[in-house]
Amino acid sequence: MSQSEAPPADWRRASPLGILVYGLQSAGSLIVPVLIALMARQGDGMLALLAMPVVIAVLSAPFAVLRWLRYRYWIDDESVMVQQGVLSRKLRSVPRDRIEDVRIEQALLPRLIGLAAVRIETGGGGADEIAITYVRLADAEALRARLRAYATRVHAQAGRAPAQAGRGQGVVDPPLSAQDDEGQLLFAMNPGRVMLSGLFEFSLFFFVALLALITQFRDLLPFDPWDWMFWRDLLAGQAGWLTGLGVVSQVLVILALLSGLVVLGLMAGVIMMVLRNWGFRLDQTPRGLRYRRGLLKRVDVVTPLHQIQAAAVSTGAIRRLFGWHSLTLITQSSESQLDEQLAVPFGRMAEIAHVMAAVGYSLPNDEMAWKQCDPRYPRDQAALSMVRVLLIGGLLLAVPALLKLLAGGLGLTARWQDVQADWYGLIEWTPPVLAVLLLMRAIPRIADTLMMHRTNLHFLGNQQLVVRTGWLAPGFTLMSRTRLHAMSVAQTALARHRCYANLLLDGAGTATGIMGMPKNGAWDLRAELLPDVLAHDFASLARKTRPIQN
């Protein structure tokens, strides 16, 4: 039956509780304009706050009901369709034999009232093809089981995998069924580890959120946050109080302020990791890798093994000292969903090796014959970085003199002196401070660059290519030789003069490069990898993953 012939009785509606979700979603965007409109009309902030919920409910409820009434979905033996829209109608359809995977997501409010969103993916990358929102959790699980079971029958009869339908023969994935949700545990994070990972994720989220709130509710504040006279007077009072203290007291006050800033940053990191990775669990199922995570928004995703194009092991300068690393699996659709492929957010190398073995990769070891980059490459890059820092720092130091010269040329010398007095010399000493901070930030990077001839290494095995980068925070990128799609040798004018080159490697959804190789070595490595690239038809690669040995 074609979609144009579908009788209205065959269309299904989402759960009526979805009206509440739609209403609150609409209400969130109405809070600020309604509050401003009420205050401008009544002039009483307390009365506006009391009237705001009523006004928002009156405005958002009709749209929520209409949105639910005009949202329908339909599933038959050929396709899955979703029809939605109040003023403009939209019909989206996906053939069932092209469904790659079905996942369930639960945001905070739908999770509290037992609803979920069903997202259908076709493996083509980018956004989801169809999302069915919102249905009861039991109905969502039944939909996922039904769609997967149907895909099993269709592809088993056709003798090809879902992503290969109509494009050639291949090896069929294990059957899709409701039992695929159960599997072998590969990695999990308990609450203690989740909070510990947040201590290594220093964030200024609180300050950004505070700035956003101040900007949104500027008219409701008793002062103008963008009035520089207010901040000048405030700084003047605080500066006078601080000057009256002794040297030891001044140092203690400054250290207390810095400590408070660090504590707030650590708290923000812990909160962000708890919200993102609470209850993190990674399982190996017949369908692929299934991970579940999230406190407010619960995500349940299955990543088929054939979609994994590369693996990346990373760490931080401080995390490395305590032996913590993370593993990211790069997939075909990772350009828009890279964070959802984080297989091990915070784990030991032994745990990462266990997960990598399940997807067919092996960690590098000391027995590998690593090859270094050209020693001239790190020296050239460090020199270029230093030149950029000196140029930017010199421009910053010249800003006060340039402003003073401009004021003199325009006959505003007296006004310039008044501005300097009002701001207590901030214009004079701010550029040097920024220049010093820029230099402090650049020194570790330049040191890391100078060590590249020892830390930027690569190794070509029988089945995989390993690229190692970083000194303070070393990391590895592992790519299967059969997953490479394109290679190119790039040289700048300086590189041509110094006889080294960069070998750029591209795969589906991932790209990496081996930087600063000797020119002949880059061309030799390209020639060695070229037969592997040309030997495979990427439209019909087998889906079964075999272990990759060095």
The DSSP-derived string for 320-380 is GGGT-EEEEEEETTTTT-GGGGEEEEEE-HHHHHHHHHHHT-----TTS--EEPPTHHHHH
Q: DSSP state, 309?
A: E
- 134 preceded by a cis bond (ω within 30 of 0): yes
The winner for highest mean pLDDT among 212-216, 261-265, 329-333 is: 261-265
Type of residue numbered 413: T
Q: Which residue has the tokens 């008219």?
A: 219
Give the C-alpha separation, 39 to 221, whole Å: 13
Reported as a pLDDT band with limits 50, 70 and 90, residue 265 is: confident
Q: Which residue has the higher pLDDT, 135 or 549?
A: 135
Q: Taking the CA of residue 295 as centre, how many other CA atoms within 13 Å lie in the half-sphere pointing to its CB? A: 14
Q: Does residue 1 surpass a pLDDT of 50? A: no
Q: Give first-to-last CA distance, the chain, whole Å.
A: 53
**Each residue of 25-79: pLDDT tens digit?**
776 666 666 656 655 555 555 555 566 666 667 777 888 888 888 888 888 777 8
Question: Which CA distances in Å does 540 have to 165, 485, 508, 510?
Answer: 10, 14, 14, 19
What residues contact residue 457 under an 8 Å CB cut-off, 6+ apart? Answer: 370, 371, 372, 373, 467, 468
Tell me which of 87-91, 343-347, 493-497 is least confident.
87-91
The residue with greater pLDDT, 243 or 496, is 496
Determine the pLDDT at residue 296: 84
The residue ranking higher by pLDDT, 127 or 446, is 446
Q: What is the mean pLDDT of the chain?
A: 77
Q: What is the pLDDT of residue 120?
A: 83
Check residues 260 and 149 and name the one with the higher pLDDT: 260
The DSSP call for residue 172 is P
Confidence of residue 448 (pLDDT cuts 50, 70, 90): confident
pLDDT at 319: 92
Percent of the chain with pLDDT over 90: 20
State both tokens at 135. 């249905």
The torsion angles phi and psi of 107, rounded to 5 degrees, stand at -75, 180
- 15-24, 69-78, 141-150, 235-244: segment of lowest average pLDDT: 235-244
pLDDT in tens, 510-546: 678 899 999 999 999 999 988 888 876 655 544 444 4
Residue scoring higher pLDDT (415 or 438)? 438
User: Residue 160 belongs to what H/E stretch?
Assistant: none
| Residue 341 token pair | 């492929």
pLDDT at 314: 92
Grade residue 313 by pLDDT with cuts at 50, 70 and 90.
very high
| Cα(307)–Cα(288) distance, integer angstroms | 9
d(CA 247, CA 253): 10
Per cent of the chain over pLDDT 70 is 72
- Distance between CA atoms of residues 542 and 547, nearest Å: 14
**Among candidate residues 155, 176, 159, 11, the one with its CA nearest the CA of residue 102:** 176
CA–CA gap between residue 495 and residue 518 (Å, rounded)? 10
Residue 216's pLDDT band, with cuts at 50, 70 and 90, is low
Rounded to the nearest 5°, which phi and psi values hold at 528? Answer: -75, -35
Cβ burial 446-466 (10 Å sphere, 16+ → b, else e): bebbbebbebbbbbbbebbbb
CA distance 409 to 320: 55
- Per-residue pLDDT at 543: 45
When computed from its CA atoms, the radius of gyration of the chain, rounded to whole angstroms, is: 29
Pairing of strands 281-284, 90-95: unpaired
* Secondary-structure breakdown of the chain: helix, strand, coil percentages, each rounded to the nearest 5: 50, 20, 25
Lowest mean pLDDT among 60-64, 87-91, 234-238, 264-268: 234-238
Q: What is the pLDDT of residues 165-214, one digit of tens each?
A: 333 333 334 444 445 556 789 999 999 999 999 999 887 777 777 777 77
pLDDT of residue 507: 73
Out of 110-124, 143-157, 398-412, 535-549, pick the least confident.
Answer: 535-549
Task: For residue range 283-304, list pLDDT tens digits in order.
Answer: 998 878 888 898 888 888 877 7
Mean pLDDT score, 12-28: 80
d(CA 385, CA 122): 44
Res. 84 pLDDT band, cuts 50 70 90: confident
Amino acid at 182: E
pLDDT at 90 over 60: yes
Q: 3-state SS string over 249-291?
A: HHHHHHHHHHHHHHHHHHHHHHHHHHHHHCCCEEEECCCCEEE
Q: How far apart (Å, rounded) are the C-alpha atoms in residues 10 and 12?
A: 6
| Separation of alpha carbons 315 and 319, rounded Å | 6
At residue 167, the pLDDT reads 31
Distance in angstroms (rounded) separating the CA atoms of residues 512 and 502: 10
- How confident is the model over 472-484, as a mean pLDDT? 87
Assess whether pLDDT exceeds 70 at residue 426: no
